[in-house]
Structure 1
Amino acid sequence: MGLRSAAHWVGRGAAALSIAAFPLWSPNGVPLASAADCADAEVLFARGTDEPKGMGAVGNAFVDALREQAVGLNIATYAVDYDAGKLQLGSGDGAKDAIKRIKATATSCPETKIVLGGYSQGANVINIVAGNPIVGIAWGASLPSSFASNVAAIATFGNVANRSGTKLPSQSEMFAGKGIDLCNPADPICHAGTGNEWSGHTDGYVPGYTSQAAAFVASKLLAGADQAAPGFGPSTGYGQLPGYDMSLPGPAPQVPIYASQPRGSDHMPPGWDQPAPGFDPSLANGLP
């Protein structure tokens, strides 16, 4: 091969390597992923209070169950980055991080179906994203409606909105019919009434409720968001584990414990950490 031919092929090879080494970019500066780089679905999950950074125990169990039930789908995960401290000051920042990730995924992988999830304080992160922050508190902006179609399903666990009189993510205008909000009737964070145990919050969601939520979400991913989940009734309010007597906890929650907090506050209102009736404070080590 002559020097000119050799130079020609070296140049072509260098160009190919250059193209492979650097991603393509969209006009707004977001890298465009190839179809091979994009997952079928991505779960964005916000952990509970005081859990180590990551998906948290409930989030990991939920994703494991979802992968088992959504057979054949490549499911990626993203742990919402926020300060999940006991002072409950990080939900707004968590919502901002989740929205930033939703926008990035929707832009770079428009065919990827996004699943939102949260447990305990992380559930309130999802409340904000869905446009349903706790009553009386200005936490932050919700997800722009132009990205709502990229979200295929939502699942929250131990969501204090159940008890505060606030709408749940599954009741939001953007995500009606796409969500399931599960509250263990023994959980004092989301249920007001007798029979509450702190363990109902800390240990009451894995594996029963995480598997139930995974079945609901899998039906959305496999059959489309407009299809009803087989075998499920209403997707809001209280879940029920096999063998659990729903008559024990008493009536549905009616005490809006957050309603008196003035708008504009950036911290949880006084009394947020007070135990529900029948709850033994000696069992608690902080809101998980």
Structure 2
Amino acid sequence: MKVTAAAAISLASLVAASPVEITERQSCPKVHIFGARETTAPAGYGTAGGLVNQCLSAFSGSTAEAIVYPACGGQSSCGGASYDSSATQGTTAVVNAVTAFNKKCPDTQIILIGYSQGGQIMDNAMCGGAGATLSGAAADAVKVGIYMGDPHNRAGLPYNVGTCKNQGFAARPAGFTCSVASKIQSYCDSTDPYCCNGNDANSHQQYVNKYGSQAMAFIKSKITA
């Protein structure tokens, strides 16, 4: 039997791996989704769950998990924890979760989906801005980042989608660029008071309903599974 160079490398990596590592890699999905909820939403995916579920349906055998972080904005239910502190903790949680998953499943393609503050922490993890940033193999494993209602929004960024021509309350600085911009779509409409300067809070919750199909088309264009 003729063994190709690629096959030989693959066999060698399996021989070098422990039985536990081999079992873990064999059980790894082709696609894994991380979702992050908005401020004050209960533990889980929050409004991002609608798009997470669409991904799970679109990619056979895919798996998903929610980022565990405070999602606070100073409210008493969070012990008064500030929004900035929550977002910083959330960013670290994203980087740690993605890095750990990539170490266990190095060939899995990763999708990041964040809503509102959840979008901001995914934004930070991919593009920097709050201490922790994805790097190396973990960063490469992330094929798509979807932000919905991200307060980091600033008009003119190349991955913006929607009607907002202004900026969010935690906007990126003028002239900001992200090195992985081609992997991202960020949704924000002019009526949104959080990612833009509108006055319709309800519009902040409508991005999955309004742009879900468009987001899925973008995700499918980036995933090879």
Under TM normalisation by the shorter chain, which class is it? 0.7 to 0.9
Distance (Å, rounded) in 2 between the aligned partners of 1:112 and 1:185: 36
Distance (Å, rounded) in 2 between the aligned partners of 1:41 and 1:121: 24
SS of equivalent to 2:224: helix
The equivalent of 2:152 in structure 1 is 161
- Select the residue among 105, 114, 134 that pairs with 1:143: 134
Distance (Å, rounded) in 1 between the aligned partners of 2:178 and 2:151: 16
Distance (Å, rounded) in 2 between the aligned partners of 1:67 and 1:185: 30
The equivalent of 2:93 in structure 1 is 97
The equivalent of 1:55 in structure 2 is 45
**Where in structure 2 are there 5+ consecutive unaligned residues?**
1-17, 75-82, 154-166
After superposition, where does 1:2-21 map in structure 2 within 5 Å?
none
User: CA offsets, 1:204-242, max 9 Å, x none?
Assistant: 22322233212211221138xxxxxxxxxxxxxxxxxxx
Distance (Å, rounded) in 2 between the aligned partners of 1:166 and 1:102: 23
Larger RCO (CA under 8 A, 6+ residues apart):
1
User: CA offsets, 1:146-192, max 9 Å, x none?
Assistant: 4221111000000111115417xx9511x221111011232111122
Distance (Å, rounded) in 1 between the aligned partners of 2:124 and 2:23: 28
User: CA offsets, 1:44-78, max 9 Å, x none?
Assistant: 1110001010111x22100222234x35x322111
Question: Contact 1:32 / 1:109 at 8 angstroms: preserved in 2?
Answer: no
Where has structure 1 moved over 4 Å in runs of 4 or more?
Answer: none
Q: Which has the higher helix share?
A: 2
Q: How many residues align?
A: 183
- Structure with higher Rg: it is 1
Going from structure 1 to structure 2, the CA distance change for 1:48 and 1:110 (only over 3 Å counts) comes to: same
Which amino acid in 2 is paired with 1:215?
Answer: A
Identical pairs, percent = 29
Distance (Å, rounded) in 2 between the aligned partners of 1:90 and 1:129: 14
Distance (Å, rounded) in 2 between the aligned partners of 1:96 and 1:144: 13
RMSD of equivalent CA atoms: 2.5
TM-score (norm 2): 0.73
Report the alpha carbon displacement of residue 145 of structure 1 after superposing the two structures with TM: 3.8
